[in-house]
Amino acid sequence: MSHEKFMQIALNLARRGIGNTGPNPTVGCVVVQDGVILSQGRTAKGGRPHAESIALDNINAKGASIYVTLEPCSHHGKTPPCAEKIIKAKPAEVVVACTDPDPRVNGNGIKMLRDAGIKVTTGISEKEALQINRGFFKRIKTGIPFVTLKAAISADGKFAAGQGKPVWVTGELARNYVHLLRSRADVLITGTGTILADKPQLNLRLAGLEDTSPQVIVVGKSKISLQKNWLQKTGALKAILQDLGTSGTNNVLVESGSTLANAFIKAGLVDELIIIQSPKNLGKYGQDYFAKNALDSFHLKSEQEIGIDKICIYE
């Protein structure tokens, strides 16, 4: 198999950790000996142990090829450097998808491996690796997490305000997709208005994903009753995001009513906009979700059908 094919396996491992390894990036690692996968690992929930450490435990990787989706770390952080553990394992080569922008690493991991005489190939499937950890990369660069805003609207662009429970305009497959989006977020932001109108649970109820629920942050001043693991915050949205970045949040999902959603857009804080659109019109039973011209600065990146609904992803 080619470098790309083994790297794809490592990338798929990494993908499973999106939204659940903060403050760390999610990394996948595959150890290959004579074309056979000996072992694999991915960054554990909460960020530790690191992928390479898990993959290299209890195996003999002498002469092996190690595929890793992010440059192995070189620093003594909360765990010893992965580059050191790799050097001790004496592999023949290490294949890396992308470098680690964390200033404590930033090329040093690759240098350590090369200085130890290990062949290192970089840039294999780099684009996909950058996409998987886009939240981590943005936070390291700007201090602010990557923000995805999800909106479920009717064919005529409206939402129906709840009367004590969520009114779903979209179908069941789309609802499952929303749960997947939640599982890939470290933090879910909503507004007090949504809590009061819909009484949503905002947790993960899809089989297998239950323990990937994001931390819920409710923005706004109204008095609400907070569920366990929910926090309420007030103040400027940018400052709230900066605080989240400082405390290690990589990926934020905004799932809110129209007022808060439009405020995030107006403040230029949305990196990705996911619109799930039902084929039904709400007409006089709904209200416009997006403010006039709110979507002007976004461009459509992909469009796909999901059951009876349509998912449009904008950047």
Return residues touching Zn ion (CB under 5 A).
50, 73, 82
Find out whether 283 and 156 touch, Cβ atoms under 8 Å: yes
Check residue 82 for interaction with ligand AOF (CB under 6 A).
yes
Catalytic residue, chosen from 52, 71, 128, 255, is 52
Check residue 249 for interaction with ligand AOF (CB under 6 A).
no
User: Is 95 or 273 the residue whose CB approaches ligand AOF more closely?
Assistant: 95
**Residue in this structure with the two tokens 């619109």, named with its chain if needed:** 275
Taking contact as CB under 6 A, which single stretch among the options 42-50, 111-119, 187-195, 197-205 is the one that binds ligand AOF? 42-50
User: Is 30 or 73 the residue whose CB approaches Zn ion more closely?
Assistant: 73
Check residue 118 for interaction with ligand AOF (CB under 6 A).
no
- For the record, the structure tokens of 156 come out as 């005529």
User: Is 42 or 50 the residue whose CB approaches Zn ion more closely?
Assistant: 50
Figure out which of the listed residues 7, 32, 96, 105 binds ligand AOF, where binding follows CB under 6 A: 105
Figure out which of the listed residues 100, 186, 198, 255 binds ligand AOF, where binding follows CB under 6 A: 100
Of residues 139-158, which lie at the interface with ligand AOF (CB under 6 A)? none
Figure out which of the listed residues 10, 32, 51, 55 binds ligand AOF, where binding follows CB under 6 A: 51
**Residue in this structure with the two tokens 């297998």, named with its chain if needed:** 208
- Taking the complex as a whole, how short is the minimal distance between the CB of residue 78 and ligand AOF, in angstroms? 4
CA–CA gap between residue 23 and residue 25 (Å, rounded): 7
| Residue 303 among the catalytic residues | no
Residue 242 contact, options ligand AOF, Zn ion, none, Cβ 5-8 Å cut-off depending on partner type: none
Figure out which of the listed residues 13, 55, 56, 73 binds ligand AOF, where binding follows CB under 6 A: 73
* Length reported for the chain: 315
What angle do helix axes 82-89 and 108-115 make, rounded to 10 degrees? Answer: 20
Check residue 43 for interaction with ligand AOF (CB under 6 A).
yes
Between the alpha carbon of residue 265 and those of residues 74, 90, 252, the distances in Å are: 38, 50, 14
Which parts of this chain interact with ligand AOF (CB under 6 A)? 24-25, 27, 43, 47-48, 50-52, 70, 72-73, 77-79, 82, 100, 102, 105
User: Looking at the annotation, which residues are catalytic?
Assistant: 52
